[in-house]
Structure formats: C-alpha cells, structure tokens
C-alpha cells in the first residue's frame, strides 16, 4: 500500500518535470531564435520600424515590427522607456507577459498537471490503485492454441520431455495418490526461433487446458510493486480456470542472477521474482498448473528459480540438424504449391545453423516471390533467392558460422573427442556427437560416464584429460600446428581443473606428494612454480600420447568427421560401428 502512495506522488511529479521542461525549452527556443540586442532594438525604434512592444517585469520584452516579425530584446526597466516608445508612435501593451502562442502550452501544462494530481490522488487513495489496473497485462487465456506436437518438427528430445508433462496436467490425482511431486515449472532454453513457444502451446493443447502467455519484460516496471502485483494477478486468473499452462517468455527479464544485476531497480525485480517464486511454491499438488518459461541462456538465471519445486526441469531446445531441418522445411512446405525441381533435402544441406523460425521465413519469402511473379509453383529459384534474403537478414554472428571451413574444423574437433573416448575408455558410451552449436559452445559430444562409482581412479582422471585434449589434437593432426583454433578453450579449462585437483587435493603425483596444496598455499609455504611444472609436464605428455593415438587411427578420425559433416549429429550406434 505504501508503495502505491509513493507512486501517486511520483507520477504527477514526473508530469510536472516533463511539461515544465517542455515549456521552458519552448520558451527558450522562441527567445533564442529572435533575440536582438537592446541597442539594435532602439535603432529600429528610431527608424520607425517597430509597431508594438509588450512591456513586462520579465528579463525580456516582446516586440513586433511593422512588417509583422516578432522578436525579443532585453528589458531596460527604465522609467522613461514607455514614454520614449510612445513618442515614436509605438503601441505599448503592459502586463502581457505571455503571448497567445505561449498561453497554449502553459495552459495545457496546468490542465494536465492538475488533472493528473487529482486522478492519482483519488485513485491512489483506494488502496490497490486502479491506475495500475489500467496497465495490468492482458493475460487472457487462449482456449486452444491450435498448435499440437505434430506442428513441431525435430526437437525430438524436447518434445518427449514435454509430452511427459501432459499426463501430469491431465491426471494430477494419479500422481498425488503416490505423493509424487508434480513438476511445477519447466525452463526451455536455447537460441531464438527454435520452437520454445510452440512447445508450450502444444503442451496446453495436448493437455486440453487454457494457455496464458506473458513476456518477462511486461513485469519490469518503474514502480516498485507493480510487477509483483501483475504476477499475483496472472496466477489468480490461472487458478480461476483450474488447470492451465502459463508461458513466460524471456524469463531472464525478471529472473537474472541477483549478483549480475545493476544496482538500480533491483528492488523491483527482486519483488517480482519473489512473487513468482512464492506463487509457484503455493501450488497444491493436485492443481494441474504448469509454468513454462523460456530463455536464450540458462546460466544467467538466478539459482532460486532453478531449485526443486520451482523450475526444476530444464529442457534444451537447440538448433535443428540437417535431418530436423528437412522435416521443418517439409512441414512448412506442406500447404504450399512446390514445383518439381524443389529439392528440400538439398535446401536442408544449405541451411546449416538456421533456426526453425529462419526456415519458416525462408519458405514464406519464396512463396511471396512466387506470388509476385504469378508463378504457378514455388520453384527452387525462388527458394534460392529467398535463401539469400533470409541469410542477409540474419544476425552477423549467425552468418559467420556458415562457413565450410569452420564446419570442417568443428567436425574434426568433435570427432577427436569421440574417438579418443572410444580408444582410451571403451566402457564409456558416447551418446551423441554434433557439430550444431549449443548454448555450451560450437559443437558438442555427450558422454555417458558409468555413474555407479563413488571414486575416480588415477587412470580414469588421466583418461578424462586425454579425452578433453582429443579435440585440439585432431585439429593439429589434420590442419597443422599453425592452424589450431580457439575452439579448445573450454577443454583446456577442464584439463586445468582436473590436473590441479589431482595435484592439490588428491596427491596423485610423486613430485608433489601426498599434500593438500590449498592448505600449504594459505600458509604461504609453497610457490606455484613447482605445481606449474608438474601440471604442464603431465599435460604435455598426455597430449603427445593423444597425438600418437589419433595419428595411428587417422582413418577412423576421417570417417567420423566426414559422417559428422554429412549428418551433423550422429548417435552411439553409428559412432560404435564407425570406430569398430
Ligand atoms: N521445430 C520447429 N518446427 C516447426 N516450426 C518451427 C520450429 N521451430 C521454429 N519454428 C517456426 O518458427 C516460429 C517461431 O518459433 P517459436 O516462437 O516457437 O520460437 P522460440 O524458440 O519461442 O523463439 P524466441 O526465443 O525468439 O521466442 C514458429 O512459429 C514456427 O513457424
Ligand atoms: Zn572440445
């Protein structure tokens, strides 16, 4: 309540400042434009060129010349001034400080100021101010989004995870009976245009519940408390419907890590975020409300959001690989008259790093071109032209990715990791290797380390280092020492962490002994030189080993890399058969 009172003073104050500034600059601009020195004014009077003068107590006087020009001059404030003018036949007006032109903005200013004060005082005194209700977001539920899972191509893993939620919403009683905790929040993360909104819509439709969509930035307000109020409003509306899917796009607008935020306005954001968290913890398990939030980056979100009972399911929605792109193109070409020469497979090949939205855009642009030409069909030529248009419109950082050499380097780098894994620790399953960039970096491989171990052996840790070095080693073998890239920075970070831990915490090297170096360092009894020597000699030796290993298996490395170039993503079965 206090907060609203505060706002009811702030708002008119803002009006006063804005209109005051406008008025002042308006007046200043008039004066600046047509200010003349007093001396020149007098000489004009002497020449008989002045017809009227408006005398006031202000600093300046308004003057009208015989040929109708208005100008201003300094006010001499002398006793004889008026007489002098009258003798020269000048008409003199007294007390007219404001000219008609000035009266208009001044009166607008006062009317607005007055009415806004009245408005906000009256409304503000009614507790939950109605003035804020005016700005309350239009979170009207959509009964049927019209999007089902069939309207989403690719994204198979994300789709599966979302489908699991359908049953939770439909039959919450079933899970409540077993006292299972309902998932309350899901975060979809990944690059723009990859289908996050589609997934949320499909979830609502498939579960047969209303769909509320809002944007995180709608909650970011200047006035403390408004965002939080809107959150409560939204959840109230959803509860009235019983079950629902609430979709919050751009959750980072309210859910950024508290430390990462600028000082200003964080109070408001904290309140909004807290309101969201407490609304979510307030769900009853039978309720059947699921909140789906979307963001481009998971790592910027506040940890409080990601805890169990809040947004505890995190689903990556990545860029489509060649196969998924083909499916998306087919989906968006379904209701379009495609000519015989249209080769969607080839188009899928050309569109590396395109998002689903870009592919949809591509089909649409081609359709527009065909329509403009009154062509019977959409042809490959239209699609090629549209391809250039869409590419030109894409952000630079997206475009620079589309470079065959980068693709080749990524393919060898990732193939290097996968192959070293298979060679040094065949018991580890390589789930998936891809050259499609994810939020984690340019490419990626998913490794399944057998989880049923409490301890890691020295050999395992050394193997992990070798696997991490495999990317850089493959680059060096194929492209040469001088062509190695920055792509290995994440790997090098992992290597450093592992080898340091082996020395400093696990006492796994003879030269550094069975000592905890964190303790020694805190006592100032050790210099980092010794550690550094052991670190670099260990890693160098391992790197040599990896280079040898990959060199002798270069044929397998080539096979893997080429397959990756062709398919962009390969899965464990194929990986195994390629390295067998
Ligand atoms: N996997 C997909 N299958 C089919 N169409 C897709 C797919 N991904 C994106 N699209 C197309 O792109 C459009 C935009 O997708 P959507 O709004 O779901 O992306 P988003 O991930 O929510 O993006 P943003 O982060 O920008 O909000 C969709 O309306 C659809 O036409
Ligand atoms: Zn790597």
CATH number of 95's domain: 3.30.720.210
Q: Closest Cα partner for 579 from 441, 410, 425, 374? A: 425
In a domain, 323, yes or no: no
385 and 408 fall within a common domain:
no
> Atom 6 of ligand 1 has which residue's CA nearest to it?
356
Per DSSP, which regions of 365-465 are E strands? 429-434, 444-448
Catalytic residue flag (residue 414): yes
In a domain, 130, yes or no: no
CATH number of 497's domain: 1.20.58.760
pLDDT at 111: 57
pLDDT at 132: 41
Nearest-atom number in ligand 1 for the CA of 155 is: 1
pLDDT at 452: 62
Binding-site residues for Zn(2+) sit at: 413, 417, 491
pLDDT at 280: 85
In a domain, 349, yes or no: yes
284 and 352 fall within a common domain:
no
What is the CB < 6 Å shell around ligand 1? 152-155, 192-198, 249, 294, 328, 331, 356-357, 360
Q: How far is the CA of 193 from the centre of ligand 1 (A)?
A: 4
419 and 552 fall within a common domain:
yes
DSSP-assigned beta bridge partners for residue 79 = none
Number of domains into which the chain is organized = 4
Give the domain extent around 349.
Answer: 334-394
Which ligand has an atom closest to residue 495 CA? 2
Q: How far is the CA of 55 from the centre of ligand 1 (A)?
A: 68
Query: Nearest 5°: phi and psi at 513?
Result: 75, -175
Which ligand has an atom closest to residue 200 CA? 1
Q: How far is the CA of 455 from the centre of ligand 1 (A)?
A: 43
In a domain, 183, yes or no: yes
Which ligand has an atom closest to residue 492 CA? 2
pTM of the model: 0.64
DSSP-assigned beta bridge partners for residue 475 = none
154 and 291 fall within a common domain:
yes
pLDDT at 93: 79
The catalytically annotated residue of 287, 360, 414, 475 is 414
390 and 529 fall within a common domain:
no
Q: Closest Cα partner for 217 from 264, 262, 249, 265? A: 249
> Atom 12 of ligand 1 has which residue's CA nearest to it?
357
CA distance 493 to 225: 42
Domain final residue pick, 47, 79, 102: 102
Q: What is the pLDDT tens value at each position of the chain, 580 positions in all?
A: 344 444 555 555 555 555 555 555 555 444 445 777 777 777 777 777 788 878 777 777 787 877 777 777 777 777 677 777 777 778 877 764 445 555 565 555 555 655 555 455 444 433 343 334 434 456 678 888 889 999 999 889 899 999 989 988 888 888 878 888 778 899 999 989 999 999 999 999 999 999 999 998 888 766 777 888 888 888 988 888 888 999 999 998 888 877 655 544 466 667 888 888 888 887 766 678 899 999 998 888 888 888 887 898 999 998 999 999 999 999 999 999 999 999 999 899 888 888 999 999 999 999 999 999 999 999 999 998 898 888 777 665 555 455 778 889 999 999 999 999 999 988 888 888 988 877 666 667 777 666 567 788 999 999 999 999 999 999 999 999 999 999 899 899 999 999 999 999 999 999 899 999 988 888 887 777 888 999 999 999 999 999 999 999 999 999 999 999 999 889 989 999 999 8
Q: How far is the CA of 486 from the centre of ligand 2 (A)?
A: 10
250 and 362 fall within a common domain:
no
430 and 500 fall within a common domain:
yes
198 and 262 fall within a common domain:
yes
Structure-block tokens of residue 272: 């909004």
CATH number of 338's domain: 1.10.8.60
> Atom 4 of ligand 1 has which residue's CA nearest to it?
152
CATH number of 228's domain: 3.40.50.300
ipTM at complex level: 0.92
Contact between residue 214 and residue 248 where contact means Cβ atoms under 8 Å apart? yes
Nearest-atom number in ligand 1 for the CA of 317 is: 21
Structure-block tokens of residue 435: 């050259």
In a domain, 133, yes or no: no
225 and 260 fall within a common domain:
yes
Binding-site residues sit at: 190-197, 413, 417, 491
In a domain, 443, yes or no: yes
pLDDT at 331: 94
381 and 248 fall within a common domain:
no
In a domain, 39, yes or no: yes
In a domain, 476, yes or no: yes
Domain final residue pick, 102, 118, 134: 102
Nearest-atom number in ligand 1 for the CA of 296 is: 25
409 and 532 fall within a common domain:
yes
Alpha helix ranges (H) inside 57-195:
81-87, 100-124, 130-134, 156-170, 172-177
The three-class DSSP label of residue 459 is helix
Pocket test for ligand 1, best of 148, 197, 214, 333 (most atoms within 8 A of CB): 197
> Atom 16 of ligand 1 has which residue's CA nearest to it?
195
Binding-site residues for ATP sit at: 190-197
Helical pair 404-424 and 572-579, crossing angle rounded to 10 deg: 80
191 and 247 fall within a common domain:
yes
Nearest-atom number in ligand 1 for the CA of 331 is: 4
Domain final residue pick, 376, 394, 412: 394
């Amino acid at each position: 309540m206090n907060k609203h009172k505060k706002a009811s003073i702030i708002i008119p104050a803002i009006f006063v400042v804005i209109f005051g500034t406008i008025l002042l600059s308006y007046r200043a601009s008039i004066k600046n434009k047509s200010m003349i020195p007093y001396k020149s004014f007098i000489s004009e009077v002497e020449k008989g060129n002045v017809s009227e003068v408006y005398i006031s107590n202000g600093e300046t006087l308004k003057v009208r010349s015989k040929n109708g020009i208005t100008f201003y001059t300094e006010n001499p404030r002398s006793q004889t001034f008026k007489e002098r003018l009258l003798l020269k036949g000048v008409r003199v007006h007294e007390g007219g400080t404001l000219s008609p032109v000035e009266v208009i903005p001044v009166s607008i200013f006062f009317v607005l100021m007055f009415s806004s004060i009245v408005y906000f005082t009256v409304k503000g005194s009614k507790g939950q101010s109605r003035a804020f209700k005016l700005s309350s977001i239009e979170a009207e539920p959509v009964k049927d989004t019209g999007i089902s899972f069939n309207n989403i191509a690719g994204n198979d893993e994300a789709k599966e995870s979302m489908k699991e939620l359908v049953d939770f919403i439909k039959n919450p009683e079933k899970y409540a009976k077993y006292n299972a905790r309902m998932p309350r929040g899901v975060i979809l993360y990944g690059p723009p245009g990859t289908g996050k909104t589609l997934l949320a819509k499909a979830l609502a439709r498939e579960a047969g519940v209303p769909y509320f969509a809002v944007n995180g930035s709608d909650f970011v307000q200047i006035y403390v408390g408004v965002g939080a109020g809107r959150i409560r409003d939204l959840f109230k509306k959803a509860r009235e419907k019983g079950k629902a899917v609430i979709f919050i796009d751009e959750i980072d607008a309210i859910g950024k890590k508290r430390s990462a935020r600028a000082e200003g306005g964080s109070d408001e954001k904290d309140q909004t975020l807290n309101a969201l968290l407490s609304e979510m913890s307030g769900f009853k398990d039978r309720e059947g409300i699921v909140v789906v939030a979307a963001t481009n980056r998971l790592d910027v979100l506040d940890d409080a959001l990601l805890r169990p009972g809040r947004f505890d399911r995190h689903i990556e929605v990545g860029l489509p690989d060649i196969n998924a792109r083909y499916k998306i193109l087919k989906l968006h070409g379904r209701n379009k008259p495609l000519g015989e020469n249209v080769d969607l497979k080839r188009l899928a090949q050309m569109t590396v790093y395109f998002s689903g939205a870009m592919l949809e855009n591509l089909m649409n642009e081609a359709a527009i071109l065909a329509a403009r030409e009154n062509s019977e069909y959409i042809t490959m030529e239209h699609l090629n032209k549209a391809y250039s248009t869409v590419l030109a419109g894409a952000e630079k950082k997206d475009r620079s990715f589309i470079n065959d050499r980068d693709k080749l380097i990524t393919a060898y780098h990732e193939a290097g990791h996968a192959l070293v894994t298979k060679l040094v620790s065949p018991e580890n399953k390589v789930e998936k290797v891809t050259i499609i960039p994810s939020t984690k970096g340019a490419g990626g491989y998913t490794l399944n380390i057998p989880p049923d171990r409490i301890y890691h052996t020295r050999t395992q840790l050394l193997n992990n280092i070798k696997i991490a070095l495999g990317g850089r080693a493959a680059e060096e073998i194929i492209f040469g020492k001088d062509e190695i890239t920055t792509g290995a920075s994440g790997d090098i970070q992992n290597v450093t962490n592992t080898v340091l831990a082996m020395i400093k915490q696990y006492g796994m090297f003879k030269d550094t002994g069975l000592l905890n170096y964190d303790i020694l360092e805190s006592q100032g009894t050790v210099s980092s030189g010794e550690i550094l020597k052991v670190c670099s000699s260990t890693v160098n030796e391992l790197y040599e080993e990896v280079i040898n290993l990959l060199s002798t298996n270069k044929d397998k490395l080539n096979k893997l890399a080429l397959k990756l170039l062709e398919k962009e993503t390969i899965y464990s079965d194929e990986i195994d058969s390629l390295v067998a």
